[in-house]
Amino acid sequence: MPNEELRKDLSNIDIWDEARIEAVLNTFMDDLKNGRLEEAGWPAMLPAYSVSKMVINLYTRILARRHPEMRVNCVRPGFVRTDINWNLGTLTPEQGARGPVMLSLLPQDGPTGCYFDQTEMVNVW
């Protein structure tokens, strides 16, 4: 996320809720419609995709904070060979399932509010 102020805010989960996410998305949409993405500090490459992933990560953290009795995480399974990508992916569906299965089997004291790249926890902020 090129926008330094937004990047700083993303590291502080305590200031985020659904209303704030919606406000950021409305700002993004306004900037997109008016051709101000670069000027406003949004990603230049695949901006809608990048912002959608940012929101998924934020909402994961919000849900984890709201429901501490649950393990709430998000995972990128990798480039999995499926019909959606014309079977061009480099991973088999079985390989792509490793992360989601691992997260579904986490113990009660396992990580929550985290992002996993396949089976590895990654700090996205």
Give the C-alpha separation, 89 to 96, whole Å: 10
Any catalytic annotation for residue 115? no
* 20/55 Cα distance (integer angstroms): 11
CA distance 18 to 61: 11
| Cα–Cα distance, 109 to 98 (Å, whole number) | 20
CB atoms closer than 10 angstroms to residue 71: 19
**Angle between helices 18-33 and 47-66 in degrees, nearest 10:** 170
> Which is catalytic among the residues 11, 20, 44, 49?
49
Q: Which amino acids are annotated catalytic?
A: 49
